[in-house]
Amino acid sequence: MRRMLASLLLVVFFTITPITPTAQAAALPDTAPVVQALLFWSNGCPHCETVLLETLPALQQVHRGQLSITLIELVTLEDVDEFYALFEAFGLAKEQINVPLLLINDEALVGADQIAAELPGLIEEYLIVGGIDLPVLPRPTTLLERGVLFTNFDPNSLIQSEQETNFSGYWLGWAVMIGSWLALALVILAIVRAFRGKPMADFKGWLDLAVPILSVIGLGVAIYLTYVETTQAMAICGPVGDCNTVQTSPYAKLFGFFPVGLLGALGYIAILAAWAWRHIRTDRLAAMAGPALFGMGLFGTVFSIFLTYLELFVIHAVCIWCLSSAVIMALLMLLTLPPATQWLAVSDEDEE
């Protein structure tokens, strides 16, 4: 009887043993609270790089498996449109929407500074109450289908991708710089010939119409850059260069407050007005419109060379929109060169 009782006690002891503080501690990670969030970002965005390479790794190191961030990269123009629509439905004004944007529960943190300042406190707050799931979005979106957990994200791929992008942009920047200098060399040669009484003949047909067409295209580029520079919105850069680094640099505004894009827009409007006046009117002002067109194109080209120099040697990033405007200005300078040479070729006696 005693042996049977002892055996029974042993069975009960070994049955209860697994349910001990040690066993419970081993099971704790499976039941620990987890905070989940969404981060919307874009390649080429320097503030996104700060969050991905500095802020999140530090927080992940502190909280280990209790922090789960899903990364959603905005790649195409359609992605950006969906991003804006999503957070306008969330209740944010368009000027408030930008990347990086981290959505945790029902709170949207916009920009690297706000994420770094407020995210650590929110993580602690939500861990105390037992963690939170991924936020519920106000409308369906396909962006979530490309979500990648931050733990599976390779920061080296981001750095390598940016290096490759900037490298290709540098080559394009150098090509634009060299092309602009060659255009200036042709201008100097034509002016020298004009002083010798050999002006250029006016361009006819489609070459003449190219002036207003290029000016309208340039105006569109300048208006877009003005929007980016004044609202701090994310620029759509494409596969070449790093527009956001350029547009967030101090050199994107003259004297610290006047957007460079707005100066370009005013320049293109002035070129359009001068071209129209030269073709509509026949007065003395119309005669001066030709040299004025060339003067504006010359100033725009020289200023574009200066901006390209800043991108290559100071900012160390190029903007495809800025380079496009530089090419347009150089072409406008060359297309408006003939009336300027004709004006220079006229002697004082002939003018009287």
Q: Which residue has the higher pLDDT, 333 or 233?
A: 333
Q: Which residue has the higher pLDDT, 134 or 47?
A: 134
Q: Return left, alpha or beta for 133; rule: phi > 0 is left, psi -120 to 50 is alpha, else beta.
A: beta
Note the pLDDT tens digit of each residue in 17-56.
343 333 333 333 557 899 999 999 887 677 888 898 889 9
Residue 317: the pLDDT is 83
* Domain assignment of residue 67, given as a range: 14-153
Residue 155: the pLDDT is 61
Is the model's pLDDT at 347 over the cut of 60?
no
Mean pLDDT, rounded, for 318-323: 91
322 belongs to a structural domain: yes
Q: Are 134 and 249 in the same domain?
A: no
158 belongs to a structural domain: no
Is the model's pLDDT at 9 over the cut of 50?
no
Note the pLDDT tens digit of each residue in 159-184.
444 544 445 578 889 999 999 999 99
177 belongs to a structural domain: yes
For the chain, give the mean pLDDT.
82
The span from the CA of 174 to the CA of 239, in Å, is 17
Q: Which residue has the higher pLDDT, 165 or 215?
A: 215
Q: Render the burial of 171-186: b for 16+ CB within 10 Å, e for the rest.
A: eebeebbeebeebbee
9 belongs to a structural domain: no
Q: Are 146 and 177 in the same domain?
A: no
Q: Are 191 and 324 in the same domain?
A: yes
Contact 298, 222 (CB under 8 A): no
Is the model's pLDDT at 124 over the cut of 90?
yes
Q: Are 101 and 183 in the same domain?
A: no
Residue 323: the pLDDT is 94
The span from the CA of 297 to the CA of 271, in Å, is 8
Task: Answer with the one of 134, 153, 172 that is the final residue of a domain.
Answer: 153
Q: Are 135 and 268 in the same domain?
A: no
3 belongs to a structural domain: no
41 belongs to a structural domain: yes
* pLDDT grade for 152, boundaries at 50, 70 and 90: low
Mean pLDDT, rounded, for 180-195: 95
Task: Answer with the one of 132, 153, 174 that is the final residue of a domain.
Answer: 153
Q: Are 145 and 228 in the same domain?
A: no
The span from the CA of 300 to the CA of 35, in Å, is 52
Number of domains in the chain: 2
